Each structure stands twice: as C-alpha cells, then as structure tokens.
Amino acid sequence: MPENLIRIREPNDKRFPKFYEFLKRNYVASLVDPERIIRQELGETNDGNYKTPHAIVVAEDKGRIVAAASGNLLPIDYQRGGRDIGIVFLSYLPPEIKGNEQQVGRAVGELERILAGFASKRDMVAPVTILEAEPDKVGFYEALGFKTLQGVNYHQPPLDWSEDGRALSKPEHLLLMAKPIEGRAYEADVARKEEAALRRGLVGK
C-alpha cells in the first residue's frame, strides 16, 4: 500500500473518529451511515464471516485525512456451475479539498484491490465498481472513470432502522455510476449479467 494510504481495519482504530468526522463534513447527514453500523461492519468483516465485507482506505497528509474511499463487496448474482458475480460498491469517496482528486483515485484503487481480494477468496469475480452519486458530483466521478448507468431509477435504501424494523431515515434518489476495475476483464456477457443483477438486486426489476 502506498505510504500515505492507510486501511482502517478495526472498529476501534484511532483514526476512525477522524474518518467519521471527515464523512460528516463532506456529505449531507441523510447520506451518512450511523457510526455504530460502520463500526459493526468492520468488526464482522474482521471475524471473516460477513457476507458483504467492508473496507476503508484513507489518505493522510501530515496526520490529517485529505481523501477517503470506503465500500463493500456485494454478491449480486449466484451462478450454477460458474463463478458467482459480485461488485465493489463504493459508499464514500470525498476529496476534502479541491485538488485532492488524485488522492481519491489512489484510495479507490487500493479499496478495489482489497475487496477484489475478498472476492477471490470466495471464488467470486468482481469486475466492476459501482457508486451512488449525488447529481452535483457526477462530473467529479466521471473524471475518475465512472459512467452513469442509464435507465436505472435508483433510490438509496434507508440507512438506519429501529429494532422493530421501522426505517428511521428516508430513501434518497441518487444516480448509479460504474467503471471496470483496472486490469480486470469486463466481457460483454458479464456486463449483461451485472446489469440484470443490478436491476433485480438494487432496484427490484
């Protein structure tokens, strides 16, 4: 891992509070997962049995977080007689200051490497990265190589739930954007399967 890129592995990592404050500075409150949920996902990922492993990579400059990328490996299509298909689903990748876009790109690349490693261990192919995009950030994500998935009317699911199963936040209408993971084949048949699985799994079509 490059020198100033650091993976936050543990839910009690000393950098986690700085990472969470970083998210709150760069996103509206309705788009930020509750802190307890992110910490819980990290802990369950470390236990080795979490279905959708979570990883966080931050870029530091003089002890200050200047960019970050976090996300999960999501299984979206189970094959009979073939390798299961998954996606790297990015939750957050904000640049703290304009001009740090390169740091974000490096953090995304490292996150993809980590989550593709989880896929490989599970005999799963994960050739594409997906993210949820606020309309005003589409240009930034396009500069990182992402393209909007056309025709997908996607709403981000509620991020927080009560113990009795009630949604404590409202769904957010966002765009879905995708890009192939560098160095990995993204054949047409895989693309078709991924698009179909995305519609089934993410938008119920």
Q: How large is the average pLDDT for residues 175-192?
A: 62
Token pair, residue 41, equals 């996902």
User: pLDDT confidence of 185, banded at 50, 70, 90?
Assistant: very low
Q: With 70 as the cut, is the pLDDT of residue 41 above it?
A: yes
User: pLDDT confidence of 78, banded at 50, 70, 90?
Assistant: low
Q: With 90 as the cut, is the pLDDT of residue 152 above it?
A: no
User: pLDDT confidence of 81, banded at 50, 70, 90?
Assistant: low
Rounded to the nearest 10 degrees, the angle between the axes of helix 35-47 and helix 16-26 is: 130
State what percent of residues in the chain have pLDDT above 90.
Answer: 22
For 82-91, how does the pLDDT look when each residue is reduced to its tens digit (9 = 90+)? 667 788 888 8
- How much is the pLDDT for 162? 58
Mean pLDDT in the chain?
77
Q: With 50 as the cut, is the pLDDT of residue 205 above it?
A: no
Q: How large is the average pLDDT for residues 44-71?
A: 88
User: Which of 34-48, 135-149, 151-165, 171-185 tops mean pLDDT?
Assistant: 34-48
For 18-28, how does the pLDDT look when each residue is reduced to its tens digit (9 = 90+)? 999 999 988 87
- How much is the pLDDT for 3? 57
